[in-house]
Chains A and B, each alone.
Chain A
Amino acid sequence: MNTALSILRRHPSIAIGGMIVLVVVGAALLAPWLSSYDPAAQNLIARLRPPGTPEHLLGTDRYGRDVLSRVLYGARVSLVVGPASVLIAVSLGLSLGLTAGYFGGRTDMLIGRIFDVMLAFPSILLALAIVAALGPSMGNMILAIGLSMTPTFGRVIRSAVIAVRARDYIASARALGAGHLFTIVTHVLPNILSSVLVVATVAIASAILVEATMSFLGLGVPPPTATWGSMVADGKGMFLNAPWIVISAGLPITITVLGFSLLGDGIRDWLDPRSK
């Protein structure tokens, strides 16, 4: 407990980032209790009410939907899509990066080529093209963002593996008769986990940005599900008269992304003091 506190004190990024993430997760979980409105329920009598009214703390949109409850429920989409797509990218990146870095040679070259090709497409384009082909849904979006981020992970993991691969304990394990799979699982994997953790935390931030962008472009989780990106797109044309819609949805995106990137930066400084 004491050590945890001292880590937080020496790395305020972890404390601040972690706090932000906790608040956002809490808001998403407690959405039904924090707001009594159905995020999709329209009320055409109460259209475009400004924020601050007792019934609607953040006002209403052009269909009379409560902006606060849409923001709270929108957090759920970002918080599911972000980590889930990173999970896909990590699993694929781990299998490919480990194989490339551990075996080297032709395998490495082939996998490296695949990464090169994927990286020639901006990741948002790759994700958009995959979703446009598969059809817009939460699952397809997670898959698309995960696939588009795979080469970035694969590269990081590959270079981490190459560094570990050259160590003497790997050679000793092999000399003692350990098989490749055993060596990878017991000796390589534990030694690259910290790099994976850092990259994964920062990647959640970018995944949430990509999700918001896709929703903004109309290729995210389809309506009536509330997403932050689609709320901004919805409020964009009314910014002069009803700026609260764009701001209420845009601010949480920035804050959440900031939270995850601070957390990632902090963890990196903590695990690798030289990087500062």
Chain B
Amino acid sequence: MDLIYAILSPKLMSQIFVGLSRTVILFIVASGLSLILGVLRIPNIWHGSLYMVGAFMMFTISGAFGGGSVGFWMALILAPLGVAFVSLIAERSFFQHLYEREHIMLLLLTFAFSLVFGDLVKMVWGMEYKSVPVPQIFQGSVHLFGGLPFPLYNVFLLAIGPIVAVALWLIVNKTKIGKISRAAAVDREMVGAVGINVSWVFAFVFIIGCLLAGLGGALVAPTVNVSLGMDQTLIMEAFLIVIIGGLGNIWGALLGALIFGLAQSLGILIWPQFGIVFPYAAVTIVLLLRPTGLLKSTW
């Protein structure tokens, strides 16, 4: 019994919880990336910029509605939609013409977009970091595990995570368009031959994926510095998660995000200075054992 208490010590438990709330953000962003990579075969580097734009929009919209709780909820809904809208325009104008090209071209195109947007964000929002206040109901912390406080907002994140996961699963597996997308991922010509407008299917998937990026950014905004450059580290981590999870696999993204988030917070417990190395090491180990990802990819 004592051993169990020792293992489930408050220290460990609170680190695990913190890791989990970080996992939620990583999962939401990575699932969008995985969707786009799995169905459209685009390694979407622009995803990081959309995450950043989501966070900045969160700042502006919540400010426009007075900055309080109303502002928060309005922004949480409108910011991802705004991001989705932007991605729709980009997809229809640029991306859809390149689906036949090699991966590298698509990768570099999304990279070009991320460069452009990096500066656009700077132009529109300026260079200083922005602060999004935590809404009233989520302020403060709840005391768990031997009295260690755990911010309420993180509890909120832990609740949102499964909701998004389930919603995504429903869309992909239970709706008609979701099923068509999965078919198109495997064989787009066949889907086209059956008379379905593949182009719009792809647009749909792209927008959903980007919306998720925006949602991730919007959710993370109250907990961090909303600043330029938040796109770069995140995109690397999101890519790694998608890779270890299996390209195009939503549950894989969840698994990958779990591994990544937990590895980091536990790593900090074990070796504070090198805590951040642990997730990267974990990714490497997974890939050495299962190079195509833990779960099945869509192609």
Verify that A and B bind, or say they do not.
no
